[in-house]
Structure 1
Amino acid sequence: AGFMTSMGMTMPLTSFLSQRIGRKRLYLWGVALFIGGSLLGALADSIALVITARVVQGIASGLMIPLSLAIIFSVYEKHERGRVTGLWSAAVMLAPALGPLCGSLMLEWFSWRSLFLMNVPIGLLALLLGVGVLPDSEPAERKPFDLIGYLLVASGTGLLMIAISRMHHAQALLDPVNQAMVLVAVACLVAFVRVELSRQAPLLNLRLFNMRGYRLSVIIAVVQSVGMFECLVLLPLLVQSVLGYNPIWTGLALLCTASFASLFGQWGGKALDRHGPRTVVAVGLLLTGVSTLALGMLKA
């Protein structure tokens, strides 16, 4: 919860910060911060420090994830972006599957501290490659920081994430604390929308949702992401708790899923350049629906 909450609260700042200090510099700061969080976790001697380390990693991820696609789009021409986005998607899908597999092996062979330490050499390599390969970008025109907008979206996102993380069972929906957090979160997000639409220099340009294509693409992406990450959470529980396999087999099951996603992500990027988004998205959603239905029909 600490990781996801801090990441969600940091992402709205990315556009403003990149305009102030440049995309490359901000991305490198994100990588360095992730390395620092990993070192803090590896050296932690209490659960409070472990949680703090995860929060630091979440802040770093909130900086890096939006910037990665922004940097790609600034480097490649429009006719190449589909192919490159496919490669990016392949890496994004492969990494969460390799993580549990590598993590289970590290836990089998070493201690839990190795889960944090394994990020350090990877982060240092990313830092060196970023310094040498990423193009420099000059800071853009300085716009005023929308502090009220940020406080509203950060509060709304943070409270909603915390409330969801507390709802482990149906009875938790009736918890007055959870209900209060959800109500306050919704109120903050509604106020955020009203404030941003009235700003000349908003933190997030919500007027983009007036574009039908953008609006539909966001809705589709949200629905797809909910289904995908729901499976990533529930599949390990199915493999271990229901079917009785060990964590290594769980990692292999996730690796199989991500390998095909990685493979077809590259094909999808090329198909996007060739046929446009409508056909590619339709085929992807159809396959997602069929496979999710098949998983739902499994008998425990």
Structure 2
Amino acid sequence: MTRTEAIPAAVWRLAVVLAFGGVMAGLDTSVVNVGLDVTGRDLDASLASVQWVQSGYLLALAAALPVCGWISRRVGAGRLWLWSLAAFTGTSALCALAPGIGWLIAFRVLQGVAGGLLVPSGMTVLGQAAGPGRMGRVVATTSVPAILAPAVGPVVGALLISEPSWHWLFLVNVPAGVLGLVVGLRTVPRGGTTGAGRLDGPGLALVAVVLPLLTYAITEAAASRTLLAPSVAPPLAGGVPPLLAFVRRSLRSAAPLLDLRLFRNRGYAAASFEVLFNGAALFGGLIVMPLYFQLQRRAGIVETGLLLTAFSLGAAATFPVAGRLADRHGGGIVTLAVLVVTTLSTVALALSPADVDVVTVELLMVARGIGLALSGMPAVSAAFATVSARQLPDATSQITILSRVGGAIGGAVFVVILTGALPAGVAAAFRLTFWSLTAATLAALGAPPGSCANSAGRH
């Protein structure tokens, strides 16, 4: 057993300020979705065009993530966080003022770039301030509002759409962003530079091609309900070769855009594996569960958002506990609890009859939130505990990318499974999808727990 280190009050104050970025980015992943139809009608745009308001944001976010580590080393993580928050706030206002669909998509792309830099730079600032022995508790506690934000997003979006207009989907970010900047300028340490060297331009070009193409391929696969659709093959074929080239370059370059050599550390690689599949189970579940409530239980948008808060409340209540366990014992000790809680709750959803009462469903959602919180936080803490301060910007970028990619892949695959099984009946389709969620959860637990735990405990 390792004695936990006390966390200074200054670190907690810093963590609260940095939580602004997580809340804003979390809300923006879901609050806009409920307003796409209204936005399209108001701007006289087709659904095919208006969906790029969200897709463009996600693609830009994915493309911006890899460069975050280099910029953090170049200008300081705190300074980058402040710049990103200012850019996110400004582009939110521009989105609200967009005169047409083309301008709105363009501003959302810029907002996605800012969002892609905002979260990992904030994690780097926290990691540098807290240190590995306190990272789990600090990140766990400050992740609570960020975890709640995507589930609250549909409710907020529905309320904004039902009364004012789609412009408020973006204007809602402005006061929060301004407040975060005012406090952040006085609180957030700018961070020192650590000799970033020259930017790996070819590596950036490769990853800027890879992530959007593969993300787009996954999006098209989900939209067309098959991985064999004509719209899937071109981006998939275009994304794989540069992916292989990027990996080769990263392993051979003295100053790569992302230091993939970190994966030679067994503890880091195992924890990253868990983060990838935990992202699939977590974010994929956040896509499936709204569909379950709307298609199976005939819930409206606001009711669906309220029902989803049970999952987030379970995760939020457990995150601080998971962080303390990760700091004191490492990631491996919670594996058995994760296996029991998450698997049993997901299997129970798979076996539930179509008319199961809502209280039972909500209790199972709370249990899934508890299980996935216990799984995700120790994995992230274990990954960060295996790297040096010099490697932390790379690690935070990579962990964020893996979580997002896992969520994108998981969401797309689960939607493909669900829609493919719908001809057999809604209840049967969701039963099969919940079994798939169970498989993703078990895959997240497939990394050798001892390697994570031991690595976390040594640093």
Matches within 5 A, 1:1-300: 1-168=55-222, 172-298=226-352, 299=354, 300=427
Give the letter for the 1:58 counterpart.
G
* Conserved? CA contact 1:37–1:57, under 8 Å: yes
* Conserved? CA contact 2:148–2:316, under 8 Å: yes
Alpha-carbon distance in structure 1 between the residues aligned to 2:273 and 2:208: 21
1:173 is paired with a residue whose SS is coil
Counterpart for residue 402 of structure 2: none
Alpha-carbon distance in structure 2 between the residues aligned to 1:269 and 1:280: 11
Alpha-carbon distance in structure 2 between the residues aligned to 1:253 and 1:48: 35
* Conserved? CA contact 1:224–1:285, under 8 Å: no
* Conserved? CA contact 1:31–1:127, under 8 Å: yes
* Conserved? CA contact 1:101–1:255, under 8 Å: no
2:113 is paired with a residue whose SS is helix
Give the letter for the 1:15 counterpart.
G
Alpha-carbon distance in structure 1 between the residues aligned to 2:223 and 2:136: 41
* Conserved? CA contact 2:78–2:122, under 8 Å: no
What is the CA RMSD across the aligned residues, in angstroms?
Answer: 1.7
1:176 is paired with a residue whose SS is coil
Alpha-carbon distance in structure 2 between the residues aligned to 1:154 and 1:288: 35
Alpha-carbon distance in structure 2 between the residues aligned to 1:50 and 1:247: 24
* Conserved? CA contact 1:19–1:139, under 8 Å: yes
Give the letter for the 1:92 counterpart.
A
Q: CA deviation at 1:125?
A: 1.2
Q: How many residues align?
A: 300
Alpha-carbon distance in structure 2 between the residues aligned to 1:85 and 1:99: 21
2:80 is paired with a residue whose SS is helix
Q: 1:105 to 1:155 in 2, by over 3 A?
A: same
* Conserved? CA contact 1:94–1:259, under 8 Å: yes
Q: 1:284 to 1:45 in 2, by over 3 A?
A: farther
Give the letter for the 1:136 counterpart.
R
Counterpart for residue 440 of structure 2: none
Q: 1:189 to 1:260 in 2, by over 3 A?
A: same
Q: 1:171 to 1:31 in 2, by over 3 A?
A: closer
Q: 1:261 to 1:141 in 2, by over 3 A?
A: same
Alpha-carbon distance in structure 1 between the residues aligned to 2:112 and 2:343: 30
Q: 1:47 to 1:287 in 2, by over 3 A?
A: farther
Give the letter for the 1:141 counterpart.
G
Q: Which runs of 5+ in 1 are unaligned?
A: none
Alpha-carbon distance in structure 2 between the residues aligned to 1:87 and 1:176: 45
Q: Which runs of 5+ in 2 are unaligned?
A: 1-54, 355-426, 428-459
Alpha-carbon distance in structure 1 between the residues aligned to 2:92 and 2:235: 30
Give the letter for the 1:166 counterpart.
E
Give per-residue Cα distances to partners, 1:59-88, cap 9 Å, x unaligned: 111101111111111101332222102113
- Give the share of equivalent positions with the same residue, in percent: 35
Q: 1:195 to 1:50 in 2, by over 3 A?
A: same
Q: 1:90 to 1:281 in 2, by over 3 A?
A: farther
Q: CA deviation at 1:220?
A: 0.6
Alpha-carbon distance in structure 2 between the residues aligned to 1:286 and 1:10: 37
Alpha-carbon distance in structure 2 between the residues aligned to 1:102 and 1:165: 25
Alpha-carbon distance in structure 2 between the residues aligned to 1:189 and 1:92: 30
Alpha-carbon distance in structure 2 between the residues aligned to 1:288 and 1:110: 40
* Conserved? CA contact 1:146–1:201, under 8 Å: yes
2:192 is paired with a residue whose SS is coil
TM normalised by structure 1 equals: 0.94
Alpha-carbon distance in structure 2 between the residues aligned to 1:254 and 1:247: 11
* Conserved? CA contact 1:90–1:265, under 8 Å: yes
Q: CA deviation at 1:280?
A: 2.5
Alpha-carbon distance in structure 1 between the residues aligned to 2:243 and 2:336: 31
* Conserved? CA contact 1:152–1:192, under 8 Å: yes
Q: CA deviation at 1:255?
A: 1.5
Q: 1:99 to 1:171 in 2, by over 3 A?
A: closer
Give the letter for the 2:155 counterpart.
L
Alpha-carbon distance in structure 1 between the residues aligned to 2:147 and 2:167: 25
2:199 is paired with a residue whose SS is coil
Q: Which structure ranks higher in relative contact order (CA pairs < 8 Å, sequence separation ≥ 6)?
A: 1
Give per-residue Cα distances to partners, 1:16-57, cap 9 Å, x unaligned: 111221111111111111112211221123222222232122
Q: 1:288 to 1:100 in 2, by over 3 A?
A: same
Alpha-carbon distance in structure 1 between the residues aligned to 2:172 and 2:187: 23
